[in-house]
Structure 1
Amino acid sequence: MAYWTTDETHDPARTSWVESAQGHRDFPVQNLPYGVFSQNAGNRRVGVAIGEMILDLSACAQDQLLSGWESMCLGNDVNELLALGGGDRRKLRHRISALLSDPGHRGQVEKHLVPASKCAMHLPARIGDYTDFYVGIHHAANVGKLFRPDNPLLPNYKYVPVGYHGRASSIRVSGVPVVRPRGQCKMPDAAEPIVAPTGRLDYEVELGVWIGPGNALGTNIPIGEAADHIAGFCLLNDWSARDFQTWEYQPLGPFLAKNFHSTISPWVVTSEALAPFRIAQPPRPEGDPQPLAYLADNDDQAHGALAITLEAALSTASMREAGMEAVRLSRAAASNMYWTVNQVLAHHASNGCNLSSGDLLGTGTISAPVKDGYGSLLELTNGGKEPIIMPSGESRTFLEDGDEVSLRAVAAAPGFVPIGFGECRAVVMPSP
Structure 2
Amino acid sequence: MKKIAVIGQGYVGLPLALAFAPHTQVLGFDIDEARVGELNSAIDRTKEADQETLKATLQLHAESAGARGYAASSSEEDLRAFSIYIVTVPTPIDEFNAPDLRPLRAATRMLGKVLKQGDIVIYESTVYPGCTEEVCVPILEQESGLQFNTDFFAGYSPERINPGDKVNTLTTIKKVTSGSTPEIALAIDGLYKTIITAGTHLAPSIKVAEASKAIENAQRDVNISFVNELALIFDRVGIDTQDVLKAAGTKFNFLPYKPGLVGGHCISVDPYYLAHKAVQLGYHPNVILSGRRVNDSVAEFIASKVVKLMIRKDIAVKGSRALILGVTFKENCPDTRNTKVMDLFNALQDFGVEVDLVDPWADANAFWLEYAVNLISLENAMNGNAYDSIILAVSHQEFLSIDLSALVKEKAVVFDIKGVLDRSLVDARL
User: Does the TM-score normalized on the shorter chain lie above 0.5?
Assistant: no
User: Which structure features the higher share of helix residues?
Assistant: 2
TM-score scaled by structure 2? Answer: 0.28
Q: TM-score, normalised by structure 1?
A: 0.28
Larger relative contact order, structure 1 or 2 (CA cutoff 8 Å, min sep 6): 1
**Higher Rg of the two aligned structures:** 2
